[in-house]
Amino acid sequence: MRTSLKLASAIFAAALLAPATASAQKVTLTLNWVVGGDHAPYFYALKNGWYKEAGLDLDIEAGRGSAASAQKVAAGSSQIGLSDMAGVLLFNGKGANLVGVMNIYANSPQGMYWRKSSGIKGIKDLVGKRIGNPAGDGARTMWPALAKANGIDPNSVIWVNIDANAKLAALKSGAIDATTSFFNLHHVFARELGDDMGFLAWRDGGLNPYGNSLVVNANWLKANKDKVAAFVKVTQRAFAECAKKPEPCVQAMVDMNGALKFDNELTNWHLVSILMSDETSKNVALGWHDDKRMQADYNLVNEYLKMEKPYDVKTAYTNEFLDKNIKMPAINPPKLY
Cα separation, 117 vs 267, whole angstroms: 27
For residue 117, the 8-state DSSP code is G
Query: What is the model's pLDDT at position 331?
Result: 82
- Tell which residue, 210, 184, 207, 227, has the closest CA to residue 321: 227
CA 166 to chain centre: 19
Query: What is the model's pLDDT at position 334?
Result: 63
Out of 19-23, 64-68, 263-267, 290-294, the most confident range is 290-294
Cα separation, 82 vs 213, whole angstroms: 6
CATH topology match: 2-107+210-316 vs 110-204? yes
Torsion 250-254-255-257 (CA) sign:
positive
pLDDT at 258 over 90: no
- The residue extents of the domains of the chain are 2-107+210-316, 110-204
Higher pLDDT, 9 or 51: 51
At the top level of CATH, the class of 2-107+210-316 is alpha beta
pLDDT at 48 over 50: yes
pLDDT at 15 over 70: no
Prediction pTM value: 0.81
Cα separation, 240 vs 9, whole angstroms: 26
Please report which confidence band the pLDDT of residue 249 belongs to, taking 50, 70 and 90 as the band edges.
very high
Please report which confidence band the pLDDT of residue 220 belongs to, taking 50, 70 and 90 as the band edges.
very high
Query: What is the model's pLDDT at position 10?
Result: 41
pLDDT tens per residue, range 52-92: 999 999 999 999 888 899 999 999 999 999 999 999 999 99
pLDDT at 9 over 70: no
Percent of the chain with pLDDT over 90: 74
* CATH classification code of 110-204: 3.40.190.10
Query: What is the model's pLDDT at position 136?
Result: 74
Length of the chain: 337
- Name beta bridge partners: 197: 115
Query: What is the model's pLDDT at position 1?
Result: 41
> What is the mean predicted confidence (pLDDT) over 257-267?
92
pLDDT at 2 over 70: no
Query: What is the model's pLDDT at position 183?
Result: 86
Please report which confidence band the pLDDT of residue 4 belongs to, taking 50, 70 and 90 as the band edges.
very low
**Start-to-end CA span in the chain (Å):** 32
42 C-beta neighbours (distance < 10 Å), count = 29
